[in-house]
Chains A and B, each alone.
Chain A
Amino acid sequence: MRSLKYFIQQSWLLIVASFCFGLLIAVTNASLSPEIEQNKINKFNRLAGGLLPDANDFVPLDKQVEVQGIRGKTINITVYKAISETKECVGWSFTAAGSGFADKIELVIAVGKDFKKLAGFDCLASNETPGFGDQIKYSYYKDQFKGAPAGKLILIKAGDTEKIDSEIVAITGATVSSEAVVKIISHYITRIREQMLQEGLLTSDNGK
């Protein structure tokens, strides 16, 4: 009993302050989170729209696709169906993340309507080293993925960056970041495709 009294005497201010500060953060978070979420959606639409220019709207599938993540954990991914002005499916898009050199890399990945060719990728979040790893955002690297087969990609150290195939030329001085992007795309694209085929969300011939 005496020790409890001593504990309260010593720490009451810390306990009260923790409660008050926690409440303050919770209130701020609750009031700002709709705006933050909207910003994320806007960014996704902007990036995915850039990858699939024919798309007029991105509609999330009713059911999330459950796949195994890079580290073996099960992850639920929201796949968006890209709809054109004439209400036709022009492709698919989703976000995927993995470890980069400095921090987590979060990508927006887009594929064609049949899920056979990549429409490209863009960075949703990345803190890679300026001047080196952040070159994954540069078009000379990103353009290698446009039209590449939507399957397992291979990273090579030297080659022709304009040749579109499953071989991706790494960024000089940023092999870890280049490898991370290739790994994220290869890992998720094959698993999401398989899962969508299994669940009947995608037919093997036309992707409808």
Chain B
Amino acid sequence: MTTENEVKTDVYSKTFLAGLWRENPVFRLLLGMCPTLAVTAAVKPALTMGLCVIFVLTCSNIVVSLMRNLLKPHLRILMFTLTIATFVTIADLFLKAYFPRMSEMLGPYVPLIIVNCIIICRAEACASKNPLVVSIIDAIGMGVGFTLTLCVLAVVRELLSTGKVFEQQIMPSAFVPWAAMSMPVGAFLTLGLLLGLVNTITKRTRN
């Protein structure tokens, strides 16, 4: 006989793991495409973007979950946007203060987290309907899933465009860098190929 605690643990683990694979925001839900394509030319900016999204997603899910019973249906999107914009502004200021070079490198993509569909989607689909703990776990799962996806894309692109990963030389000196991989064409190609790979794996595991 399963206890209440075991059921809860099962729900929490399923919620967390959903963001990593089954409902991965980029590969399965195709959300957050703008930063996915724009900041994955190198691993460092991709990781920074991912961490910013985790912070904003977790904070906005906490606030939305806490006020879910007070939300008026016709004002909820406005409240979500207000909440998300606040935490994005804080993340942006933090980067400008302590990581100015990274802030410059990411340019407008940090403020653009405000319109990132993943965050508003989780506020609407999860945080506004679930208690605090589930909302936090969902935010962390989705955020980690998004960050890992960005990093996978960035590793492929940085490796092929510079021969380096995390600015450390990986490829032999004879390797000729593919400059196109750091450009938008490289982003689309890598994303397309990885989406195809994920779809193939998903089909095979289902069968």
Contact = CB atoms under 8 A, between A and B. Distances in A.
B155 to A, nearest CB: 20
Nearest to A34: B97
Given A13-B67, A13-B71, A13-B75, A21 B104 contact: no
A35 B100 CA distance: 10
A14 B79 contact: yes
Interface string A10-36: 110110011001001100110010011
Interface in B56-85: 67, 70-72, 75, 78-79, 82-83, 85
A38 to B, nearest CB: 9
Interface residues of A, number: 21
Nearest to A38: B97
B183 interface: yes
B193 to A, nearest CB: 22
Interface of B: 67, 70-72, 75, 78-79, 82-83, 85-86, 89-90, 93-94, 96-98, 100, 104, 107-108, 183
Interface stretch (A49-57, A113-121, A125-133): A125-133
B104 A125 contact: yes
B72 A13 contact: yes
Contacts of B100: 36, 39, 43
Given A13-B71, A13-B72, A29 B93 contact: yes
A36 B82 CA distance: 24
B33 to A, nearest CB: 18
Given A10-B75, A127-B108, A17 B97 contact: no
Contacts of B96: 32, 36, 39
B83 A35 contact: no
Contacts of B97: 32, 35-36, 39
A18 B82 contact: yes
B86 A13 contact: no
A200 B182 CA distance: 51
B83 A21 contact: yes
A21 B86 contact: yes
B183 A131 contact: yes
17 contacts: A10-B72, A13-B67, A13-B79, A14-B75, A14-B79, A17-B67, A17-B83, A21-B82, A21-B86, A25-B89, A28-B90, A28-B94, A32-B94, A35-B98, A36-B96, A43-B100, A125-B104
A198 to B, nearest CB: 36
Contacts of A127: 107-108
